[in-house]
Chains A and B, each alone.
Chain A
Amino acid sequence: MCRPSKGTRKVADVHGKFGAPGYPCFMPSRGKGGTQARQTQKRPTPSIRPALPREFIALHKQRRIMDALAELTAEQGYEATKISDIVKRAGVARKTLYDNFDGKEEVFLAAFDAGRDEVLRRVEEAGVDDEDWQDRVEAGLAAFLGFVAEQPTVARMCMIEALSATPETTKRYEDSLETFVELTKQTLPKDERLPDTIAETLVGGVAWIVYQQIRRGEAERAEDLLPELTEFMMAPYLGAGLAE
């Protein structure tokens, strides 16, 4: 997946020259050319500034590349997005992208995995203290919708663009859906009167609705869907005497 960034020595040296306080924006020469320009910039050098660890800088750049791809994909689609667009938006050198990723698809997959892992973490943690399974289901849904509302660009990338970018991204989506189905299965009460496929159809239905919401440009209001989606997920259990 992501390889540790090679050639960070130059950046670590350069960082000391910039000495910007706070979270480093250590690429001030965006658009003005690569390493050469950075090295010739003259900035005051604070004497007591430790260089940021290499890994931190590398991860930060990877993050920016992934964020840039997410934004560009949302704006113009995966196909139309070129490497040159990504590096320009991320403010990194082309070489930096290729030091960290094999290409556009790998950036996408890395960004997808990062988004999916974050959602999964939030959904798993949600309602972990709730004893009642219905509360856990609702909390999980709330966590999911909350993520979509909070990070609409990533949500769009994961739930819409992934399905049309490449066969590998489609597969990644399907595998991720499977993960959520398994998680849901563990949370829903088991009853032999209910079909084995109940978790699949419920998760599929929820995913469909959220997909529509994002597609309509209403991702920021995804949390409005909580009551109806909760009701939808409970429906098979009400009347079967498993929920109230």
Chain B
Amino acid sequence: MKPLPRGRHGLSREFIAEHQRERLLAAIAASLDEHGYDGTTVSAIAGRAGVSKSDFYRHFGSKDECFFAAYDEAVERLRADVVSACAGEGKWALGVCAGLAAALAGLTAEPGRANLLLVEGLRAGPGVYGRFQVAVESFVPYLRDRAPEGTSAGRPPEAADEAVVGGIASLLGRRVLAGETARLNRFFPELAEFALTPYLGVAEARRIISSR
């Protein structure tokens, strides 16, 4: 992103400020990707965003604060993609598939974000894993809402929804760590099957996935 030209440009303070904040959030994600959390400095973030250090501190009190803001914003953007995908589907199972596909696509499209959310973010120090965990948990309702009570095979095990979401998050984290971010989409069929199986059984899960 090119920095705004210096000097008077007739843009409102609010516009510039909002713009700067966005650029700083993007800059920290990029910086983390390249240098890791410890290697990322306020100067580097500000420089990358084309803002001065004092402007940085107008928005955030510290690197940590900037990091948490970037993290939360990345979660919310991913959530927006997932929610709009789920909402577009009438049937629960198709909604789950759409939401999962949107999540994978979202992570693949922005590798810096995937790294922030699933890898570098987790290494940023105390308090971050808690944030990650809360973020992952916040996706459980999308699986749980309108989920079927059970099949002829019986009720899904209690906490199946948490285990599914947690298991998928765990797998995605490991794969991003292994440098496979660009190919996360290929996990869709098996992750969708993993998600639907506790509720519908393997056969029905596969039928639905292959019919998409």
Contact = CB atoms under 8 A, between A and B. Distances in A.
DSSP majority for the B interface?
helix
Interface of B: 38, 122-123, 125-130, 133, 136, 153, 157-160, 162-171, 174, 177, 187, 189-191, 193-194, 197-198, 201-203
A239 B154 CA distance: 12
B170 A200 contact: yes
A177 B153 CA distance: 31
Contacts of B167: 200-206, 208
A46 interface: no
B126 A170 contact: no
Contacts of A231: 157, 198
Nearest to A207: B170
B122 A236 contact: no
Contacts of A203: 167, 170
Given A78-B126, A164-B130, A200 B174 contact: yes
A236 to B, nearest CB: 6
Contacts of B198: 231-232, 235
Contacts of A228: 157-160
Contact of A79 (B123, B126, B133, B177): B126
Interface residues of A, number: 37
A216 B122 CA distance: 21
Given A177-B170, A239-B197, 9 more contacts: A195-B190, A197-B190, A200-B167, A201-B194, A206-B167, A208-B163, A209-B163, A227-B157, A228-B159
Nearest to B163: A205
B126 A209 contact: no
19 contacts: A167-B38, A170-B123, A195-B189, A195-B194, A197-B187, A198-B194, A200-B170, A202-B167, A204-B166, A204-B174, A205-B166, A209-B163, A211-B166, A228-B157, A228-B159, A232-B163, A236-B193, A239-B201, A240-B202
Contacts of B171: 197, 200-201, 204
Contact of A212 (B158, B162, B174): B162
